[in-house]
Amino acid sequence: MDRNYQRTKGIVCIVLSAFCFATMNLFIRLSGELPTWQKGFFRNAVALIVASFILFRERKKPGMKITKKNILLLILRATAGTIGFLANFYCVDRMNISDASMLNKLAPFFTIIFSAIFIKESAKWYQWLAVVVAFLGSLLIVKPTFSMEMFPALCGVIGGLGAGIAYTCVRKLGQMGVGGALIVFFFSAFSVVVLGPVVVFTYVPMSAVQWGFLLLTGLAASGGQFFVTAAYTYAPAKEISVYDYFQVIFAALWGMIFLSQKPDLFSVAGYLIIVAAAVAMYIIQKKQKIVVG
């Protein structure tokens, strides 16, 4: 299949995943005061139900079985993903959601680094530049004052690190022909099994509203997982990871609409820089493809 077409599909999928994950963060915040692991458990319990249904429907397709060749990568993806989303949830609950989203957007840096090291997908200079420019745009949105508490901020960085490792594993698994439904199912099942005993012994009763928001969290997370898994199987991290910064824009919009967080001129400038970096990289890649072709 044409590489440009594959890349375009990857870009669309990663923007949709950014929308889903930003919405997930909003629902996590709106679900109120609950233990991070309890929120994480119900988030992935819903995702597990969705993934189970899809895996059952696609069970006869290639790449839908756990084998000796893919089991270690599946475990690494699930472990890194579980640590990453728990750290991100902790951060979201204790910081402005756009701040938390920005810290989580360190993931593209880690993804490109790990992809270069482990699967030999080295990035070109303009791809590195686009990621750096997009990151600087995110800083304009967040405007860090170093007044944030250290631990939640550190958790945000750990969340980005975990996501970066997980996305690199997803890319490699996709290259090996492992189906997206199996990757999402294994991750969801792994996290539910790991977090289940903790939730049983520390369970905090929830209201109907909290149950509703956690259900929506799980649905949004499911959409995000399937879209991001598809994205990194369609195209290399170096070509599409910058588009993941759209999550910062979506998070800022949700903060403004639902949490009365109004963006200032610096934030608007940040949005424009992020979009400009993404569009510029896409245009350069298309031109280079035409020249090479």
Determine the 3-state secondary structure of 35 from DSSP.
coil
Q: How far apart are CA 44 and CA 195, in angstroms?
A: 10
pLDDT at 1: 54
Return the biggest CA–CA distance within the chain. 61
Range with the lowest mean pLDDT among 145-154, 166-175, 200-209, 223-232?
145-154
pLDDT tens digits for range 39-52: 999 988 988 998 89
pLDDT tens digits for range 262-271: 777 887 888 8
pLDDT tens digits for range 97-140: 887 887 787 777 777 778 777 777 777 778 788 778 887 877 77
Whether 38 shows a pLDDT value over 60: the answer reads yes
Among positive and negative, which fits the CA dihedral 154, 160, 166, 172?
negative
- The two three-digit tokens of residue 130, written as one number: 């686009």
- Number of residues assigned to the chain: 293
Q: How far apart are CA 159 and CA 106, in angstroms?
A: 9
- Helix, strand, coil shares of the chain, percent, nearest 5, are 80, 0, 20
Range with the lowest mean pLDDT among 1-5, 11-15, 66-70, 214-218?
1-5
Q: Which among 60, 84, 36 has a CA at the least distance from the CA of 190? A: 84
Indicate the pLDDT class of residue 37, thresholds 50, 70 and 90: very high
pLDDT at 146: 58
pLDDT at 290: 54
pLDDT at 171: 83
Report DSSP state, residue 65.
Answer: S
pTM above 0.85, yes or no: no
Q: How far apart are CA 170 and CA 164, in angstroms?
A: 10
pLDDT at 153: 77
pLDDT tens digits for range 45-100: 988 998 899 898 888 888 888 998 899 999 999 999 999 999 999 988 887 788 78
Q: How far apart are CA 229 and CA 174, in angstroms?
A: 8
Phi, psi for 64 (deg, rounded to 5):
-110, 25
**No. of H helices and E strands in the chain?**
12, 0
Q: Are 242 and 136 in contact (CB under 8 A)?
A: no
pLDDT at 145: 61
Whether 237 shows a pLDDT value over 60: the answer reads yes
Q: Which among 88, 81, 136 has a CA at the least distance from the CA of 109? A: 136
pLDDT at 7: 85
Q: At what angle do helices 246-258 and 3-30 cross, to 10 degrees?
A: 30
pLDDT at 179: 87
Question: Between these two residues, 211 and 272, which has the higher pLDDT value?
Answer: 211
Q: Are 53 and 115 in contact (CB under 8 A)?
A: no
Task: Report how far Cα 270 is from the mean position of its chain's Cα atoms.
Answer: 20
113 CB-contact burial (10 Å; exposed 0-12 / middle 13-18 / buried 19+): middle
Q: How far apart are CA 3 and CA 234, in angstroms?
A: 9
Indicate the pLDDT class of residue 196, thresholds 50, 70 and 90: very high
pLDDT tens digits for range 138-190: 777 666 665 555 678 788 888 888 988 998 898 889 888 898 889 989 999 99
Q: Are 102 and 25 in contact (CB under 8 A)?
A: no
**Amino acid (one-letter) located at 106:** L
